[in-house]
A and B are shown apart, each in its own frame.
Chain A
Amino acid sequence: MLADMTTPTPTQHAIQVRGLTKSFKDVEVLRGVDLDVPPGSIYALLGSNGAGKTTTIRILATLLRPDGGTAVVNGHDVTTQAHDVRASISLTGQFAAVDEILTGRENLTLVARLRHLPNPGAIADDMLARFSLTDAGNRRAGTYSGGMRRRLDIAMSLVGNPPIVFLDEPTTGLDPQARLEVWAAVRELAARGTTVLLTTQHLDEAEQLADRIAILHEGRILVDGTLAELKQLLPAATVEYVEKQPTLEDVFLTLVGAPTGAPTPTPAKETR
């Protein structure tokens, strides 16, 4: 089990997708998606609602079978070697899938046990500390704020250090501070060498986080490349002098105080 997680079969890419198709009834959601995600990168799949982002992620996470095409994750085919794929990945879905009746610590311990790791309790404490949840560790996850819940969700995904992490719209429904916290967590992951494939419909999120960006539209990848490469697709910008106004985000974060390295846990109860 552990061997699968630590020794990826030598391939050029962490994720390689060719001609992926998927239809639901008579709706063609994916019409031939090609994707190459280099290992250790943050790769953003950018697209509007209904573009096929979640469907792509669900196929890569072995939750859905493709109709056609191939997808290889960490050297394992998603349809024929699903169990090996699952040992290499973790998925954080659109809505924080935490057990609200269990405490944060119990949620993490459970995942560590299910990944068959030694010392689940120690791993849980470690993760709580890493995600600034130590104080809330013994409280039921149902009492967490949206940001805390999302942090717990991501912490649960990272138990066992899977080499590839899927984040499906990780900041949807979060307030600006919680969003920055999630961004910091994602950057830290990539710094540790984890490959991150995230979906987003926020352009700035892709711009801020991603090493490479692919734009998914109506079931096809329109373009992909680094931000600089994508910007070259349009004619060079003309230079204009504009008085720089603070953005609303700048104003908001200045007034309420931007989160520093260690995010402040807000005990407010929030439903998503």
Chain B
Amino acid sequence: MTAHTYADTAALTGRSLRHIARSPDTIITTAVTPIAMMLLFVYVFGGAIDTGATAEPYVTYLLPGILLITIASGIAYTAYRLFMDMDKGIVERFQSMPIARSAVLWAHVLTSLVANLISLVIVVLVALAMGFRSGAGVGAWLAVVGILVLFTLALTWLAVVAGLSATSVDGASAFSYPLIFLPFISSAFVPTASMPGPVRWFAENQPVTSIVDAIRSLLTQQPVGNDAWIALAWCVGILAVAYGLAVAAYRRKVA
């Protein structure tokens, strides 16, 4: 920690935000796949899916899972950008300067947070156009945002590990595919009760289900119960492990 940690992080975050401003397609492509899935599930499969909830439209049931998919596809760009910086010697340039060493990684993480929040807003706007409605109050919305921010941070630090350890561009961005797939084996699209034994066990005990259920309960003004705490525990747990791995990978890489 040096006295300049914040100034250095701000300078480098400004740099990568410029990258995003100059290639807004990265935010659009992040939002396009989840939106396409949302359209597909609401207007094609949705009619045949029985969520057991009659009061709300299927898009409202679906949205929490779609938001997580948005984040999972968005963080691939963090891995990609970090890999490019390492590959092109930019990181070495920064590392040979008297800056706070953690600033390089934090700049990418904060940029990921900003980019993902913009993508999430786009997805929510599309969902609103498709009939998503929520009577949730300010407190519940803040809680939803809080969970999404924690989830983004947790996955972004995983992306940092991937970006630092990858040996090729493809490897750097491909790691997010399984993360995008995870919501399919969860309560994101259909209730877990309809799944056969082992699949159902996996679905009910993996992080996405508790996070999806917590967000869904908050948005539909249902009691959140234990889900919020389990979701929180998953997010903080993944965040702590990923952060530790990222710092270790960084030390290994830049001596």
Contact = CB atoms under 8 A, between A and B. Distances in A.
B202 to A, nearest CB: 41
B18 A113 contact: no
A116 B255 CA distance: 24
A94 B88 CA distance: 10
Contacts of B96: 61-63, 86, 89-91
Interface string B67-97: 0000000000000000000001110111111
B7 interface: yes
B103 to A, nearest CB: 8
A121 interface: no
A205 B88 CA distance: 25
Contacts of B93: 91, 93, 97, 156
Nearest to A83: B98
Contacts of A91: 92-93, 96
A94 B94 CA distance: 15
A18 interface: no
B133 interface: no
A4 B8 CA distance: 18
B22 A65 contact: no
A202 interface: no
Contacts of B98: 1, 4, 83, 86-87, 115
A101 B19 contact: yes
B254 A114 contact: no
A110 interface: yes
B8 A95 contact: no
Given A90-B96, A90-B97, A114 B8 contact: yes
A61 B15 CA distance: 23
Contact of A116 (B4, B23, B90, B95): B4
Contact-size category for A: 20 to 34
Interface string A89-110: 1110111010111100010001
Given A1-B98, A101-B23, A110 B15 contact: yes
Nearest to B2: A83
A59 to B, nearest CB: 9
B107 to A, nearest CB: 11
Nearest to B21: A101
Interface in B1-52: 2, 4, 7-8, 11-12, 14-15, 18-19, 22-23
Contacts of B99: 86, 114
Interface of B: 2, 4, 7-8, 11-12, 14-15, 18-19, 22-23, 88-90, 92-99, 254-255
10 contacts: A64-B255, A83-B2, A86-B98, A86-B99, A90-B97, A93-B92, A101-B19, A115-B97, A115-B98, A156-B93
Given A1-B98, A102-B18, 15 more contacts: A61-B96, A63-B96, A90-B97, A91-B92, A97-B93, A100-B88, A101-B19, A101-B23, A102-B15, A106-B18, A114-B8, A114-B12, A114-B94, A115-B98, A116-B7
